[in-house]
Chain A
């Protein structure tokens, strides 16, 4: 990250204890002298990169992540990335994208990063399936097993686990997103001539089935084979969800905008867990991406795009939901007012996709409700 002390402090606060596990990220903190002259800043960045790469020679791909300060002073990180790529060719590939708060919100960072990665991929006209979106390893393996069992062998998962592994995209690539916040990456794939597959996102038993079915249809998988592969895990997921959703059925839920996961998650909670949607807020709604999920919930929820936190808080108070999904800056203050909350960030880092995680996903929402029923000492201070 090329930014200020604020950026470093944000990463540190958000990464929590992970910050102590020698993570492979760091901030080049801009200092007063860097703001004085631009040529200077470029030289400084070269020095910092050179120090870093000599300390960590295992790094094969270096992302220069733009921040609000670097963008406001118009530090040209894209040109720097090209220059550095040339300098370190072929051992290190340097890529630039923006993660600034003035341009991106939370998970849009992954989107901007993936878009930059796709832009660098060579052309390849072989027929293949590309799945977009970083997933926990265990979930990705489950997904690949299901696809293989349906007879779809040639699957490119983006991002790949190792930088520089062979990959290419082209006009015979059919792609589907596993995450709803990949609007820019989606658009980049379309620009590269790849063909989008549209489906609800793979949350819950129905979501996963629909998602797989859309791929199966595109790749001409026969219905019998599809049923044979999915019937077992689908039934298992439904059984598991049924148990957890006893707590959720009939309860109302309010989503603050955070990660763009809100629309598909709301679809899962209303469709498969029987929850009542009040408001579904999302920082940004990419209709081509979440359209299928949106269709299923539009009729029974207020959908809001963007944010005005004070007004949204007023609306929470007005509709008094049983569960409020929000960020950590709001969760405790709302709990102290007697609202049950589910902090949203956990939904990005927990394994929640596909059949085997369906009940865990429902469980994440059931837990705060179970807990507030369980505790009997009074919560507010």
Chain B
């Protein structure tokens, strides 16, 4: 048993719904109690879809438990088929139905429906949302995709985008454009936008573009084996990664990898003197494995930040994230416990957090700016405007998004020079984020249990307290905790200016 308030991922059947909702002419019958219909609103509200997700829930109740639930399931299948006339029926069970052990696959098979039926195994007590999406799509491909004649022109499939994916909608457009520029047409994009008929035609392509390993890798490996389709390994987020992706594509289609240019403004914006103050800004990165790995590279190589922490919540990506962290000289934080993430952030006191909606709120609590790079996300990260993460335009979007929450360069100097002036008080935060100004009490005393307890019986002399306030606000919390720890460790009961600088020297590397 694990006590949890926030969860980074939903249960696996939500992953199945993401695949079904992304596709067309597909219907999912989910054996589930009535409360489970809550998942609909993720799609109608967060993604703002204008239709109901193509899911029928059996909505069994306590009085149905017993042999009745199997009948209920069969009736639901028949009614859903009659009403929606899908080309493909998916059947599965949510966590509760998994316990009552009706067999959705067998029951649906016995109905003899005139369309293919794919039975999903969704182990709710071991796996999570991303697995559910990956597995569902793999099962659909396994059932429907068979070798067919290759297209005469060079084509590829886009694999991995789903409903409720972070910027999947615009990434598809951006990558399609990028591929078209090098003469590659898109055969099928799946699961998003694909019909079951499209899935049977996946084999027409010459190769697969694996856009999101979390939701498409198993299907790509399967197609590599059964359809002979190689797939791309580079996720084209960031300028360098996009270049490498294009070269990888050219390699697959047997064209010489010339000097590919990516028309992004990021390199110049990042090189311009206005960005100098970004150098070495300490950044903490957390999210799903793919977005974290690409973000870390952009942060380090393309913007010049100092990556001080990386981690991901999906264990499926733990190995590559660990390997990458090692290259950065870091230990990756692989956890789905937001308290661990919060403790790590409080401990590192970064100047910028790149993360999910959870990290956004952690950042708000600790008074640290944050930009969102990965699901899970709230409604504002399904924007109306075009805002991909992939390709050239994606790099533009990323530059703007990440720099925006930071205090601007000149502003930062002014805040440090005139910190005691009422107009420039650093408690005000970035001038363009009036609503997000950090609360100084919180910045100075993070509510985490890391070090403040130890320091509770140490008294700050007023001179030292005043001196502490002269330290830039983004490192002040850390300075306070370090000094308190230093004093406690040495049995010093009062912190003077002397102690403060002794501690600073002690912790300096």
Contact = CB atoms under 8 A, between A and B. Distances in A.
Contact of B95 (A5, A103, A336, A381): A5
A305 interface: no
Contact of A329 (B5, B7, B50, B52): B52
B124 A4 contact: yes
Interface stretch (A11-19, A236-244, A287-295): A11-19
A72 B38 CA distance: 20
Contacts of B361: 20
B41 A327 contact: yes
B48 A332 contact: yes
A358 B126 CA distance: 49
Contacts of B42: 13
B252 to A, nearest CB: 36
A130 to B, nearest CB: 29
Interface string B266-300: 00000000000000000000000000000000000
Contact residues on B (Cβ < 8 Å of other chain), bracket: 35 or more
Contact of B99 (A8, A35, A328): A35
B52 A25 contact: no
A8 B52 CA distance: 23
Interface string B47-79: 011111000000011101100000000000001
Nearest to B63: A102
Contacts of A38: none
Nearest to A46: B1
Contacts of A330: 40, 44, 52
B96 A69 contact: yes
B7 A5 contact: yes
Contacts of B79: 310
A52 interface: yes
Contacts of B126: 31-32
B434 interface: no
Given A68-B33, A72-B65, A5 B128 contact: yes
A119 to B, nearest CB: 20
Interface stretch (B8-16, B113-121, B150-158, B307-315): B8-16
Contacts of A329: 37-38, 40-41, 44, 52
Given A19-B6, A25-B5, A72 B99 contact: yes
Given A41-B1, A102-B61, A72 B96 contact: yes
B378 interface: yes
A190 B371 CA distance: 55
Contacts of B64: 102
B422 interface: no
A328 B48 CA distance: 10
Contact of B5 (A19, A30, A51, A68): A19
Contact of A34 (B1, B14, B83): B1
Contacts of B94: 6
Contacts of A6: 10-11, 13-14, 36, 94-96, 124
A47 interface: yes
Interface string A39-66: 0010011011001100000000000000
B490 interface: no
A27 interface: yes
A329 B1 CA distance: 30
B6 A30 contact: no
A378 interface: no
A26 interface: yes
A13 B44 contact: no
Given A69-B95, A103-B61, A105-B34, A5 B3 contact: no
B38 A14 contact: yes
Contacts of A19: 5-6
B385 interface: no
A332 B45 contact: yes
A144 interface: no
B491 interface: no
B125 A35 contact: yes
Contacts of A47: 1
Nearest to A29: B2
Contacts of B4: 8, 26-29
A158 interface: no
B3 A102 contact: no
Contacts of B112: none
Nearest to B100: A72
Residue from the set B5, B50, B65 with the largest chain A CB neighbour count within 10 Å = B5
B106 interface: no
A13 B60 CA distance: 22
B124 A5 contact: yes
A71 B36 contact: no
A13 B52 contact: no
Contacts of B10: 5-6, 9
B35 interface: yes
B96 A68 contact: yes
B49 A333 contact: yes
A10 interface: yes
Interface string B313-352: 0000000000000000000000000000000000000000
Nearest to B48: A332
B7 A9 contact: yes
A168 B352 CA distance: 54
Given A102-B61, A328-B45, A330-B52, A8 B40 contact: no
B125 A30 contact: yes
Contacts of B95: 4-6, 68-69
Contacts of A331: 44
Contact of B378 (A14, A17, A44, A102): A17
A12 B377 CA distance: 12
A30 B96 CA distance: 11
A130 B45 CA distance: 39
A122 interface: no
A49 to B, nearest CB: 9
A23 interface: yes
Interface in B99-137: 99-100, 123-126, 128
A331 B40 CA distance: 11
Interface string A101-138: 11101000000000000000000000000000000000
Nearest to B35: A101
A100 interface: yes
B7 A8 contact: yes
Interface in A70-103: 71-73, 100-103
A74 B354 CA distance: 43
Contacts of A41: 1
Contact of A102 (B11, B48, B62, B124): B62
A332 B52 CA distance: 8
B50 A380 contact: yes
A22 B388 CA distance: 32
Contacts of B124: 4-6
Interface in A181-203: none
A357 B79 CA distance: 43
A336 B48 CA distance: 10
Contacts of B99: 35, 69, 72-73
Nearest to B362: A20
Contacts of B125: 4-5, 30-32, 34-35
Contact of A29 (B1, B60, B123, B364): B1
Contacts of A335: 50
Nearest to A47: B1
A381 B51 CA distance: 10
Instruction: Return the 8 tightest CB-CB contacts between A and B, nearest first.
Output: A101-B35, A329-B40, A336-B50, A68-B96, A20-B361, A4-B95, A44-B1, A101-B33
Given A27-B5, A329-B44, 5 more contacts: A12-B6, A29-B1, A48-B3, A103-B62, A328-B45
20 contacts: A6-B10, A6-B94, A8-B4, A12-B6, A27-B4, A28-B1, A31-B125, A32-B123, A32-B125, A45-B1, A51-B3, A69-B95, A100-B62, A101-B34, A102-B62, A102-B65, A103-B62, A329-B37, A330-B40, A333-B51
